[in-house]
Structure 1
Amino acid sequence: MPNPTRAFLLGPLLKGVSRSFYLTLRVLPAGMRDPIGLAYLLARAADTIADTSLISPEQRLALLLSLREQVNGATDDAALRRMADEVASQQIQSDEKVLLESLGPALDVLSQLSEADRKAVREIVTTLTEGMEFDLRTFPDERSGHIAALSGYDDLDRYTYLVAGCVGEFWTTMTYAHMPGTLKEQPGTMARRGVSFGKALQMTNVLRDCGKDLRIGRCYLPQSMLDPYGLAARDLLVPANSLRARPLLVELLRKTLDHFREALDYTLAIPAFSVRLRLACLWPILIGLETLLLLVDNDAWLDPQKVSKVRRNTVYRIIASSLLLVSSNGLVRNAIEKRIGLIEARL
């Protein structure tokens, strides 16, 4: 008999809080949808807790760590009530409020997964919350007026692993578990490419959202990379410094494109007949590269009012055109390498 709570969590609620990811999720093979969808819901709830700036960072961190413990098997109904009372009440988006109020049922669904899927979901949510913990411990309170930068590129690289690269590993684990024999490459090779895939998408987010993040005190551009250009994090608050900081943007774009090349190899390792799985990889790559094309042409990339955001009708165009090329290795490679070439020509 169908479980109505599970159906609601992984249906209407997931659609309400996941936006574009829901498109990717719906195209996945059936066996992968529940564990990946549940992992997304739990991570989204944790992210909402971590980002609710009307609550002190210390309080958010305590609730975040409590949620991590409960994902890993602890029971704390009082903490769940605090999340519902203290965090949900601050949400403008009703779906996020409902999500926080539904954590108990979501944890029940987690307990109903197979042992292997439950272990994988616990591991990915644990790692993702470590990335959120990194933010809360590294950067000042958003309301303090202070700003801090990461120290070196290694910090940025680790951050992109914690909040996105690990998702590539998880995705790969789910594929081997639910679609055995699909991936012909060795698991270690695919896991490494999956990490780069996630890092490519997160680096795209970091560069696109730089202006906005700076205004809540977070500079993900490492100070060691700012130093050669005589820049400090606070200098990046001035949109006119976008051109002055462009050499750093170019340097980070080149690293991001290297990750996208690994993402291409990951996608081509999926057999052409696995159309759904290929589309789930192809869409974020094409949308990410479209974002970088906008970014590389944006002379005011540090201005939060001029974010390089792909328009919705462009997303739909990308999705439609991908249906014509997804089954051909040559067409997929050409589409992605063409976009990479266009970006490199502008660097």
Structure 2
Amino acid sequence: MSSYSVSYDTLDDKAYQNHILLGVSRTFALTIPQLPPKLREIVANGYLLCRIADTIEDEPTLTLEQKKSFSNAFTAVVKGQTSAQSFAQSLYPLLSDRTLATERELIKNTPRIIQITHGFTPRQRTAIERCVRIMCEGMPQFQNTASLRGLADMEAMNKYCYFVAGVVGEMLTELFCDYSPEANHHCEELRRLTLSFGQGLQMTNILKDIWDDRERRICWLPRSIFEQVNFDLENLNPNHYHPAFGDGLQYLIGITHTHLRNALTYTLLIPPKDVGIRRFCLWAIGFAILTLRKLHQNLDFSTSQQVKISRRSVKATILLTNIAASHNKVLTLLFNLAARGIPLIPLDATKIDGKQSSVLKAP
């Protein structure tokens, strides 16, 4: 029996939140504790709410109508408009064994997470509620049409990344600026970069998980990119590498690289005194750029395990970024060393406040 299925009743709500986080995300369970305590509690709570929204969308036995109904109900729960207990009691029995046991437990204990949410300040709750609402509205647009054909084009990929990661970045930016008066001075610049940050992390995951997604009969790659190199995504096969696929993959790696550079720029705008927030961002960026380097060096990979960074790399990233966390020039040097040799594809210029900038806008 999993250790996450016992002893919940002996934990208070905040202790339960910390405990379940370990069960549903190894990465965030590693990075969130780097944040200052007050911010740590809010970010962990926001992440778990997003994970509940993900669980609804990922449960394979729910019909599209059920998913829509539960997503709408969950949005109302987060806003305090309907009962969290009723939501949990209705959804939990419908979850299959194909949903992780820890995620099923999270659904069952939704009221405990919501109890914490409703104790936050109005600005904090607004940021969290907006994130959950947009995520619950946006994800079904893609889940309902997901197939091995992939997404239509980069615009569709941008939108998908926004609904699953960009909105989370927007939430985090608002929470960071609410917590830190110094960060709040740069809030507009942080907002301008946050979607690119989220997209860089999400595109890294999409590229790494190509074959895992394919087993689920899903592909999140943009067809138009591969059509330009005369490759049909429906012909993708882990046992047969095609150089044209590698060309398309390299292009997406280059775009992802540019987004991760924007993520570094975002992080360097966080005041050095807020070192916990910097570490939270830097670890995620470090893991992503090292994964991207492995992808670049192994275009013919056939399992996600082949491009997963080693524990040694994880430890080195943590050590080096902790040492250099307050030193912008050193952090830039470390990023450049990690990114050496990875292609860099400029993003399409987007007008923001009348100026040209290589960042994204929300759909």
TM-score by length of 2: 0.85
Residue 86 (structure 1) aligned with residue 94 (structure 2): yes
Identical columns (%): 28
Q: Give, in angstroms, the shift of residue 109 of structure 1.
A: 2.0
Rounded Cα–Cα distance in structure 2 between residues aligned with 1:331 and 1:337 = 10
Rounded Cα–Cα distance in structure 2 between residues aligned with 1:183 and 1:333 = 23
Quote the residue 1:38 is aligned against: 45
SS in 2 for 1:343: coil
Quote the residue 2:182 is aligned against: 181
**Structure 2 counterpart of 1:119, one-letter code:** T
**Structure 1 counterpart of 2:94, one-letter code:** E
Q: Give, in angstroms, the shift of residue 124 of structure 1.
A: 1.2
Rounded Cα–Cα distance in structure 2 between residues aligned with 1:48 and 1:311 = 28
Quote the residue 1:143 is aligned against: none
Select 1:67's aligned residue among 70, 74, 87.
74
Could you list the runs of 5+ residues in structure 1 that have no partner in the other structure? 141-146
Query: Counterparts in 2 of 1:69-218, with a 5 A limit?
Result: 69-76=76-83, 77-87=85-95, 90=97, 93-139=100-146, 147-185=148-186, 187-218=187-218
Rounded Cα–Cα distance in structure 1 between residues aligned with 2:336 and 2:27 = 24
Provide, for residues 221-260 of structure 1, a one-character-per-residue CA deviation record: whole Å limited to 9, x for no partner: 2222221222222111354234320111111111111111
Provide, for residues 30-71 of structure 1, a one-character-per-residue CA deviation record: whole Å limited to 9, x for no partner: 221222111111111221221122444443333223222322
Q: Give, in angstroms, the shift of residue 342 of structure 1.
A: 3.0
**Structure 1 counterpart of 2:334, one-letter code:** A
**Structure 2 counterpart of 1:150, one-letter code:** L
Decide whether the 8 Å contact of 1:172 with 1:191 is kept in 2.
Answer: yes
Rounded Cα–Cα distance in structure 2 between residues aligned with 1:92 and 1:125 = 20
Matched residue pairs, number? Answer: 334
SS in 1 for 2:192: helix
Rounded Cα–Cα distance in structure 2 between residues aligned with 1:130 and 1:246 = 34
Rounded Cα–Cα distance in structure 1 between residues aligned with 2:217 and 2:64 = 13
Quote the residue 2:12 is aligned against: 5
Decide whether the 8 Å contact of 1:64 with 1:129 is kept in 2.
Answer: yes
Q: Give, in angstroms, the shift of residue 23 of structure 1.
A: 1.9
SS in 1 for 2:293: helix
Quote the residue 2:323 is aligned against: 324
Quote the residue 1:241 is aligned against: 241
Q: Give, in angstroms, the shift of residue 131 of structure 1.
A: 4.0
Decide whether the 8 Å contact of 1:201 with 1:288 is kept in 2.
Answer: yes
Residue 312 (structure 1) aligned with residue 318 (structure 2): no
Rounded Cα–Cα distance in structure 1 between residues aligned with 2:60 and 2:246 = 30
Relative to its length, the structure with more helix (as a share) is 1
Could you list the runs of 5+ residues in structure 2 that have no partner in the other structure? 1-9, 345-363
Quote the residue 1:340 is aligned against: 339
Q: Give, in angstroms, the shift of residue 318 of structure 1.
A: 1.4
Residue 290 (structure 1) aligned with residue 276 (structure 2): no
Rounded Cα–Cα distance in structure 1 between residues aligned with 2:11 and 2:278 = 30
Cα RMSD between the aligned structures?
Answer: 2.2
TM-score by length of 1: 0.89
Decide whether the 8 Å contact of 1:149 with 1:221 is kept in 2.
Answer: yes
Decide whether the 8 Å contact of 1:36 with 1:121 is kept in 2.
Answer: no
Select 1:19's aligned residue among 14, 19, 26.
26
Q: Give, in angstroms, the shift of residue 97 of structure 1.
A: 2.3
Decide whether the 8 Å contact of 1:183 with 1:269 is kept in 2.
Answer: no
Residue 251 (structure 1) aligned with residue 259 (structure 2): no
